[in-house]
Structure 1
Amino acid sequence: MTTVGEALVRFLQAYGVKAVFGIPGVHTIELYRGLATSEIRHVTPRHEQAAGFMADGYARATGKPGVAFVITGPGLTNAITAMAQARADSIPMLVVSGVNARDTLGKGLGFLHELPDQRAMMASFCRLSMRVEEPTELAQALERAFVLFASERPGPVHIEIPTDVMGLAFEGNFDVAAPPGGPLPDPADIESAAGLLAVAQRPAILVGGGARGAARAVQALAERLDAPVVATTNARGLMHGHRLLVPASPSLDAVRALVADSDVVLAIGTEFGPTDYDMNGDGGFPNLRKLVRIDIDPAQLARQPADVAIAAPSDLASEALLTALLKAPRRDERIGQERAGACRAAAWEEIGARYRAHVGAIEAVRDALPGAMIVGDSTQAVYAANLFYDHDRAGGWFNAATGYGALGYGPAAAIGAAIGRPEAPTVCLTGDGGLQFTLAELGSALDERAKVIFVVWNNRGYQEIEAAMRAVQIAPVGVTPSAPDFVAIARAYGLQAERIDRLGGLAAAVARAAAKDGPALIEIVDDPLL
C-alpha cells in the first residue's frame, strides 16, 4: 500500500523537488515514510523559522520552489515569519504541515498543537492555503500550487494534511503535467508601449526582482533605447558593470533626479514599494511623465497606474517589446551612458563616507569570490549596499533588509542558497543582533557541510536603531544586547573561525575561508572603517 504521506513525496519528486527543509514531529512522521527511499534531500534546521528561511534562500538561488515540512500548530506558526518574508518578495515556497484529525477540527477540545482554525490563519497571507481531506485531493492540491508558482505572482503556498489522512491508502498514478507558463502579453499593449518608447528622447528603465529572469532582454532593451537602468535591491546583478547601469536605490536624490528627467520610464518587475522607492518616508519620489509597466500580477499593476500596463511575465513581455522596438527607427543622439555615469557618481557621493567604506568591503568580497551569492541580514553593511552596489551575478545579491524585513533571515537563507547552488561560494553578511536570532543554525550548516562563510559585524548592539533614537532625542533603551564570542561559538560547533579588526582584511579572510572545506565564520569587531 502507498500511503498519502508516501504519495506526497513521490509527487514532489515528480515536480522536480530536490530538497525539503523541516523538523519531524509526531504530527508529521507519516510524511517522512517515503523520504528515506526517495531522491529528495532532507535538511534539518534547529527551528522551523529557519526551515522557511532556508526554503526561501534555496528558491532564490535556484529559481525553483523551496519546500518545507512543519508540524501542526507551533511548527507552522514558527514558520510564519519566513513565509511572510517570501510573500513580500514574491518567492515561491511550499509549506506542508500537519493538522489535527478531521473530526476534531474547530471544536476546541484541547488536542496537542491545536489551533482554532489553522487554515484560516494561513489563508490571511498565503497565496493559497489548502487542506487535503481525502487522499484523492492530494494531486489536485499540489497541481494548484505548482501552477501558481509557474504562471502567477509567486509566494508562499500552504497545504495541510490531517493526521488521520496521512496514513490512508493512496490510489492513482504519479504523472504530473508541466505547469503552464504565465500569460502572454497583449499585442495591443506591446504596440502601445513600443510607440511611447520609440519616440522617447530621455528614457529610463527601472528593474525589480521580477526582472531577474529577463536579464538578456533588459540589457537589449536598454541598449536599443539608450536608457539608463536603475536596479532596485532584488535586481542587483543584472547588467553587471554595464555603462548604462545605475546600481543604486531610487530612494536616493541622485536617482530620483535621473527619473524625473526622463520623458518615458519603463518599469519591469518592480512593485514601487516604499522600502525601495521611499525608504526615508519623505514622499520625494517624482511623479512620472509617462510610465510603461510590466508585471505578472494585475493587482500590482492596479496599485501603481501606468500609461501602458502589460500583465505578463517579465521575460515574455520584454522580449515582445524588444521585437516591436526593433521595427522602429533608432535615435541618432546617444546620451544614455552620460546620464547613467553622472547618476552613478552623484549617488556614490550621496551615500557618504561611512557607507562607501562598507560598500568597498563588500566589493572586495565580490572580487575575491567571483560569482558568489551574497546573502544579507539587516545590518549596516547590507543597508549601505542596498543603497549602492553592483553585484556580478543576477540573483546573487539578496537580503531581508527591504520589504518585510525579517531580522535573522540571512544565516538560514544562506544555508538554503548553498544547498541549492553548491558549486558557487556563498557569503552571509549579518550583524551580532541578527545572528543571535538564528545562531544555532551554525550547527545546521555544519551538519550539511554547506559551504557558507558567515561574516558577522559585531558592534555590540542594534547600532542603527540606537542612532535613530538619538536622532529624534529619545534616550536609547533596549539597543545593547550582550554579544557572545562568536569565534568561540563557531569553533564549538566545529566551524573554522577567525576574528579581524579592519575591513581592509576582509577579502583575504574570506579567501582563506573559501579555501577550506565546509562552513566558516569571520567576526569583525566594533565598526572599523580602515
Structure 2
Amino acid sequence: MTQTRPLGAQISHMLKDRGVDVIFGIPGVHNQEMYRGIEEAGITHVLARHEQGAGFMADGYARATGNPGVAYVITGPGLTNIMTPMGQAYSDSVPMLVISSCLDETVATKGQLHQMKDQRAAAETVCDWSEEARTAKAAYVLIDRALTEFQTARPKSKHIQVPISVLQQLAPPAPSQPLSVSRVVPAPGVIAALVSALEGADRPLFIFGGGAADALPPEEVGAVLKAFGAASFTTYAGRGIVPHDAPLHFGSTLARPSSAEVLAKADVTVVIGTELAEVDTWRDTSGISGEIWRIDIDATNLSSVPQNGCALKLTAEEVLGDLHDSVQDRSMVAQTAWQASKVADMRAQWRAEVDAERPGIVPVCDALRDCLPEGTMIYSDMTQFAYTAKEVWDMDRPGHWHHPTGFGTLGYATPAAIGGAVARKGKPTMAIIGDYGFHYTMQELGVAVELGLPLPIILWDNGKLKEIEESMVRAQIAPNAVVARNPDFCKLAEAFGAHAAAPKTLSDMQTKVRAAFDANGPTLIYLTPDISNAK
C-alpha cells in the first residue's frame, strides 16, 4: 500500500531515493511543508545563516562530490537571496537544484507576504531553467528532469517552485527512479582522425578545462601527452589534470599575455572541456591559429570552431579514454618541436611576472602549499591571494581547487568550503578569502562552529579592495571607496566560538595551519602582507 503524504514531505523522500543525502537551507512559514519529511527521509539538513550562504554551501558540496547540491528556500526574499549562488553555479557548471515555495496566485491579490511580480522569471535570469510545479506529478517530473540533465548535459543550476497550497496537499509517492541514461560512444573513425592529426603535427598542444577534471587520472593524461609529444596548458579550473612535473606542461598560465605567442606556434590544438572565455585568457582572442579540435558537451562552445577545425560533442572521458587506449602499446615517445627547456624557461618567466605584479604573495603561496595535508580541497574567493595562487600553485590532482570564476562573486569561499567539508568528512578542506569578501558571508562561520568542522579559513587582509584600487590607478581614476573599516577578525571568530590565529612568520603560519586541520572546529588564520617580509 502506497503511503500518501503532503507533497512537501514526498519531495524529500523522492530526493533521498534519488541519492540526495544533504539539503542546505532555511525554513520559513511558506516552505515549512518541505521540512516535514526531511528527517523521516533520512536526509541531513544544514541550517545556513542566510540563503546566499545556503546556496554557496550547496555549490561547494556539489563541487566536492560531483553530485547535485540541493537547497530549500522560501518565497520571495529567500529566492532572491540565493540567486547570486545560482548565478555562480550556472557560470561554473555546477549541478545545483534550488526548490522554493511560491504564492498560489499573484494577480488578483496584492500585498501578500514575500510577494514578487514574477518570481519564476526572476530566477530564470541566473539559472538554466526555472519552472513552477502546480501538481505533484509536475514536481516529480521536474525533479527527475533536473537530475537527469545534471548527468547527461553540461550541469548548471536549476530552480523549481511549488505553490504553498500544493506543498500542503496529500500526494502519492514519486514514481520509481528512471533508468540511468548512457551517453553515445564516439565512432572509432572520429578518434582515428584525431590520432592521425596529432601524429602528423609538428607542435601538438592540448588545453584542458574544468570539464575534463574527472576524465582520466593525471598519470594517464600524462601518458597521452607523452605519446604524442604534445605540450599542454590548463585553465584555472583544470589544474591538476596534467601532472605538474610533465616536461612540456605550461601550467595554468593562459592569462599571461605572451601565452598567445605560444598558442600561435601550435599547428594542432585540442581544446577539451573549456569555453576559453574571457576569464580564462583575459584577452579578446586566444591566439590559436592552427588546426583546432574542440571537445565539449555544450554545443554552444562548439559553434565558434573555424573551418580548419573539428567540433565534437563528446565528453572528455570518452575522448581521452580512447586516446589513452590508442597509445597503450607504444614504446616510443614522439619527438616534436617542443623543447622541455624552453617550456621551463617560459614558466619561470611567467612566475616572475606574477610575483612582480603582486609582490610578496608568491612566497606565502609556496609556504602554504607546502604545509597542507595530501588531498586538501581548497575553496577560494575573489582576492589577490587567490589570483596569484591560481597561476603559480601547481595541483597534484584535479577538482581540488574551486573558485567563483565566471560570475565572480565575493563571499563565496567560506560557505562553499563548509559545504565541501560537510561532503568530505575526515578529509582536509580549506578556505582562502580576502578581508572584504569575508564581510559578505562571515555569519556562516557560525555554521562551521555548529557542525564542528576542522576547517582552516585563510583570511588575507591587505586592508582594502586592493585589486580595485590598482585598476582605478591604471585607469587614472583617483582611488576612492576602496577602504573599509575592518573589525578585529580574530576576536570576531572567537565570538562565534571558532579558533583564531594571527601568525607573524611563514613558519608560524605553517604550524597554525597544520594544527587547524586537527582542531575541533574552524580556525580563522589571519594573514597580512607583512608576513612575507617577516623573519
Q: Deviations over 1:72-118 (max 9, x none)?
A: 111001111101001111010000000111xx144452211111221
Distance 2:509 2:350 in 1: 25
The residue number in structure 2 matching 1:506 is: 509
Displacement of 1:313 in angstroms is: 1.4
TM-superposed CA distance for 1:254, in Å, is 4.4
Aligned partners of 2:138, 2:400: CA distance in 1, in Å? 37
Residue of structure 2 in register with 1:314 after alignment: 316
Which position in structure 1 is the counterpart of 2:30?
27
Letter of the 2:449 counterpart: L
1:438-453 mapped onto 2 (5 Å cutoff): 438-453=441-456
In the aligned structure 1, how far is the partner of 2:211 from the partner of 2:201? 24
Structure 1 CA distance, aligned partners of 2:168 and 2:180? 28
Aligned equivalent of 1:63: 66
Distance across 1 between alignment mates of 2:108 and 2:397: 52
Once the two structures are overlaid, the 10-residue window that deviates more, 52-61 or 186-195, is 186-195
Contact 2:227 2:334 in 1 (8 A): no
Write out per-residue CA displacement over residues 180-210 of structure 1, whole angstroms, 9 at most, x where no aligned residue: 1444334443333222112112111101110
For 2:460, give the aligned amino acid: W
Q: 1:416 to 1:304 in 2, by over 3 A?
A: farther
Describe the SS at the equivalent of 2:5: coil
User: 1:118-129 counterparts in 2 under 5 A?
Assistant: 118-129=119-130
Alignment map for 1:472-491 (pairs within 5 Å): 472-491=475-494
What residue identity is the alignment partner of 1:273?
A: A
Which runs of 5 or more residues in structure 1 are unaligned? none
Q: Decide whether aligned partners of structure 1 residues 491 and 270 sit closer, same or farther in structure 2, where only a CA change above 3 A counts.
A: same
Aligned-pair distance for 1:248? 2.3
Equivalent residues in 2 for 1:215-254 (5 A)?
215-216=216-217, 218-243=221-246, 244-254=248-258
Using the TM superposition, give the Cα deviation of residue 513 of structure 1 relative to its aligned residue in structure 2, in angstroms: 1.7
Q: How does 1:257-268 map to 2 (within 5 A)?
A: 257-268=261-272
Q: Does 1:9 align with 2:12?
A: yes
CA shift for structure 1 position 390 = 0.6
Structure-1 residue corresponding to 2:391 = 387
Shift of 1:526: 4.7
RMSD, aligned α-carbons: 2.1
* Alpha-carbon distance in 2 for matches of 1:364, 1:379: 18
For 2:376, the equivalent position in structure 1 comes to 372
Contact 1:185 1:311 in 2 (8 A): no
- More divergent stretch after superposition (308-317 vs 495-504): 495-504
Residues in 1 aligned to 2:84 and 2:463: alpha-carbon distance in whole angstroms: 25
Unaligned runs of 5+ in 2: none
Letter of the 1:420 partner, please give it. Answer: A
Distance 1:350 1:191, change over 3 A: same
Report how many aligned residue pairs link the two structures.
Answer: 524
Give the alignment of 1:284-303 within 5 angstroms.
285-303=286-304
| Corresponding residue for residue 493 of structure 1 | 496
Provide the secondary structure at the position in 1 that maps to 2:347: helix
Q: 1:189 aligns to what?
A: 190
- Tell whether the 8 Å contact from 1:22 to 1:70 is kept in structure 2 after alignment: yes
Show the counterpart of 2:112: 111
Secondary structure of 2:501's counterpart equals strand
Normalised by the length of structure 1, the TM-score is 0.94
**Separation (CA, whole Å) in 1 of partners of 2:109 and 2:293:** 52
Q: Distance in 2 between matches of 1:115 and 1:183?
A: 43
1:319 positional shift = 1.4
1:331 Cα deviation after fit: 6.2
SS class of match (1:214): coil
Which amino acid counterpart does residue 308 of structure 1 have in structure 2?
C
SS in 2 for 1:98: strand
Give yes or no for contact 1:228–1:339 (8 Å, CA) kept in 2. no
Distance 1:426 1:404 in 2: 23
Distance 1:527 1:105, change over 3 A: farther
Amino acid at match of 2:521: G
Q: What percent identity do the matched residue pairs reach? A: 35
Which amino acid is 2:193 matched to?
A: S
TM-score (norm 2): 0.93
Which of 408, 426, 429 pairs up with 1:426? 429
Query: Which SS does the other structure have where 1:382 is aligned?
Result: helix
Name the residue aligned to 2:465. Answer: 462
Q: Aligned pair in 2 of structure 1 residues 240, 225: CA closer, same or farther (>3 Å)?
A: same
Distance 2:196 2:109 in 1: 61
The CA deviation at 1:236 is: 1.3
2:178 equivalent in structure 1: 177
Q: 2:137 is matched with which residue?
A: 136
CA distance in 2, matches of 1:456, 1:242: 29
Contact map agreement 2:203 2:231 (CA 8 A) in 1? no
Larger mean Cα displacement after TM superposition, 154-163 or 171-180: 171-180
- The 2-side partners of 1:336 and 1:97 are apart by 55
